[in-house]
């Protein structure tokens, strides 16, 4: 059994860096895409709503692993040569857009209808009404679920190893094969994932309790 030394530590640290970058890329892209999806989902235009429902159902109803395969290998068959990083980033962004869009759609529809009607009575059209009245409240309500999805997205980046991208899980496999010590290596990998996810989970629970307390006092 080879020793676990500085080169192996640096390789895991590099994988951890790529995991964080993948998570941030997918989440930021998902936030932007999710806002568009949520607005289209509650749009008065029926064709737009139906198209958005189809998009959401496809990405929520199929495994992320399958989506990675389709984006990475499917696009190359169509003549689009994308790197593993680009393919994974696109896939995570689309997946996050579908999930966050549906989370925020539920939060929008959970608001009292009287607020939107009052904004309409004041002359605010659809987009200004959503921007200034509805979305700020809906995003506040959805914050615990959004943080919970971020934790799932972070763990989901481990599937990027399937297409050969060297994030934390892939780096762990390389180190494990080099040191012949899988138990120790994967224990370190698990500890790193836990160190990233646990604070986010605590924050999500804190926001959930805070929101519940505000609703009781309100």
- The model's pLDDT over 65-90, given as tens digits with 9 standing for 90+, comes to 999 999 988 888 887 888 889 999 99
Write out pLDDT tens, residues 165-207. Answer: 889 999 999 999 988 889 999 999 999 999 999 999 999 888 8
Task: Answer yes or no: is 65 within a domain.
Answer: yes
Mean per-residue pLDDT for 141-150?
91
The residue segments making up the domain with residue 23 are: 6-217
Q: Read off the CATH number of the domain in which 205 is found.
A: 1.10.3720.10
105 part of a folded domain: yes
Residue 73 belongs to a domain: yes
Total domains present in the chain: 1
User: For position 1, what pLDDT does the model report?
Assistant: 52
SS3 per residue for the chain: CCCCCHHHHHHHHHHHHHHHHHHHHHHHHHHHHHHHHHHHHCCCCHHHHHHHHHHHHHHHCCCHHHHHHHHHHHHHHCCCCCCHHHHHHHHHHHHHHHHHHHHHHHHHHHCCHHHHHHHHHCCCCHHHHHHHHHHHHHHHHHHHHHHHHHHHHHHHHHHHHHHCCCCHHHHHHHHHHHHCCHHHHHHHHHHHHHHHHHHHHHHHHHHHHHHHHHHHHC
pLDDT value for 121: 64
pLDDT at 113: 65
**Does 1 fall in a domain?**
no
pLDDT of residue 133: 72
Identity of the highest mean pLDDT range in 2-11, 30-39, 137-146: 30-39
User: Does the model's pTM come out above 0.85?
Assistant: yes
75 within some domain? yes
Task: Please indicate, yes or no, if residue 173 is contained in any of the structural domains.
Answer: yes
């Amino acid at each position: 059994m080879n020793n676990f030394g500085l080169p192996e530590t640096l390789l895991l640290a590099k994988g951890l860096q790529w995991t964080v970058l993948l998570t941030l890329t997918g989440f930021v892209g998902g936030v932007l895409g999710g806002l568009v999806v949520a607005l289209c989902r509650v749009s008065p235009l029926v064709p737009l709503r139906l198209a958005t429902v189809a998009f959401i159902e496809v990405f929520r109803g199929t495994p992320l692993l399958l989506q990675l395969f389709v984006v990475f290998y499917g696009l190359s068959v169509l003549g689009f040569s994308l790197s593993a990083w680009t393919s994974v980033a696109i896939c995570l962004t689309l997946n996050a857009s579908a999930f966050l869009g549906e989370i925020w759609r539920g939060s929008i529809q959970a608001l009292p209808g009287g607020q939107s009607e009052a904004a309409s009575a004041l002359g605010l059209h659809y987009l200004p009404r959503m921007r200034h009245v509805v979305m700020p409240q809906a995003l506040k309500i959805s914050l615990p679920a959004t943080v919970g999805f971020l934790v799932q997205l972070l763990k989901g980046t481990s599937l990027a190893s399937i297409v050969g991208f060297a994030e934390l899980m892939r780096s762990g496999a390389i180190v494990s094969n080099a040191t012949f010590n899988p138990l120790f290596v994967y224990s370190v990998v698990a500890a790193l994932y836990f160190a990233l996810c646990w604070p986010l989970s605590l924050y999500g629970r804190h926001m959930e309790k805070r929101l519940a307390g505000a609703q009781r006092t309100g």
